[in-house]
Amino acid sequence: MKEILFFVIGIFSLQILYFLVKYFLKKFLSKKGLPSPRDAHKNTVQFPLSYKIYMAICGLAFIFFGILCIFVHESDTSWEEIVTACSIFCGLGVFSLGCSCVWTLWKVTFDENGFTYRNYVGRKRTYSFAEVKIWEHPRGAKWFFLKDGKKILCISYFVTNGDALEEAYYKSQKSLP
């Protein structure tokens, strides 16, 4: 029972920490006269800031819980169980931090002629709207950009500003002869 209470308090404190980081980030940007991330990237499609912050906080928390497993254990607990618990928490932490880094790298910038896609490893490719086709999932959950029948980009509905890229694509298609 004590472990469950400890876990619930940890998750609740992560939520509070997430909202504090987000609040102070917005406050810091407005104090410096910088635009908020949402306003600064009108022609950018990327994962929401909340995903990046939350995964980074979760990653650090999992690593903290993994290290905490070593110091807070019952005296009758075997070292195999302690190492297993520590490995699981630290593994989840490294995975969460990796997701945060990957989601920070992935980005699409666009203008009226085309878009530049930066993938998860930082490699950039530029495409014009004339050479790609768009296919929308029947339920509207994803947009697929295709070139020569191959998928080059998939944007989910939860990605920030994804519909603006779709609108720019259709606007450019109307202007083509």
Within a domain: 25: no
Evaluate whether 61 touches 14 at the Cβ level (below 8 Å): yes
**Residue-level pLDDT at 19:** 73
Distances, alpha carbon 6 to alpha carbons 1, 10, 76, in Å: 9, 6, 20
Question: Would you place residue 126 in the very low, low, confident or very high pLDDT band (cuts 50, 70, 90)?
Answer: very high
Residues belonging to the chain = 177
- pLDDT tens digit string along 20-74? 777 777 777 677 665 555 555 678 887 776 677 777 777 787 777 777 777 776 6
- 111 plus 169 within the same structural domain: yes
**Residue-level pLDDT at 38:** 54
Question: Would you place residue 122 in the very low, low, confident or very high pLDDT band (cuts 50, 70, 90)?
Answer: confident
Domain count, the chain: 2
Residue-number span of the structural domain to which 166 is assigned: 107-175
- pLDDT tens digit string along 157-168? 777 777 788 888
**Run of H or E including 71:** helix 49-71
The pTM assigned to this predicted structure is: 0.59
- 57 plus 99 within the same structural domain: yes
In angstroms, the CA 47 to CA 160 distance is 6
